[in-house]
Amino acid sequence: MAYLARAVAQVDRTRAEALAAKAKVLARSITDPAGRVDALADLVPVLAGADDHDRAEAVIRCIIDPDSKANAMIDLARVAPSRTRVLLAQALQLGDWTKPLALLSQVEPAAVIAAADEFLTRDARG
């Protein structure tokens, strides 16, 4: 359903939003936790692509796997400039901290440099 909503979003945003809402309900009804995480994670770029950032964030909050949640936050951060820093900060606290670095280096290069300096200083002290 998420893929259908993505395709429809190119033609009819209102219809895509309705399909995305149905996809969220369907995803949350999946009893297999991994399947539910995958379905919800697939929905985030669809909502982000339809400029429905609030709903995308709501879906992200429903994702229970930390790595999948971090990836979804990064996906949304790429297309939601007003939320980029907050989403990247949250993604850094979850799963693999290296995943947000590419986008963070574009948005806040000084932060990446400071983190690298700190990491190298700790490593040198052994």
Distance CA 45, CA 78 (A): 10
Host domain of residue 15: 2-125
Nearest CA to 77 among 98, 97, 95, 60?
A: 60
Report how many domains make up the chain.
1
14-50 confidence digits (pLDDT tens):
666 676 677 677 777 788 888 888 888 988 888 887 7
Total residue count of the chain as it appears in this document: 126
104 pLDDT higher than 60? yes
pLDDT in the model for residue 98: 86
7 pLDDT higher than 50? no
Contact in structure between 69 and 99 (CB atoms under 8 Å)? no
pLDDT in the model for residue 4: 46
Exposure of 93 in the CB half-sphere (CA atoms within 13 A): 6
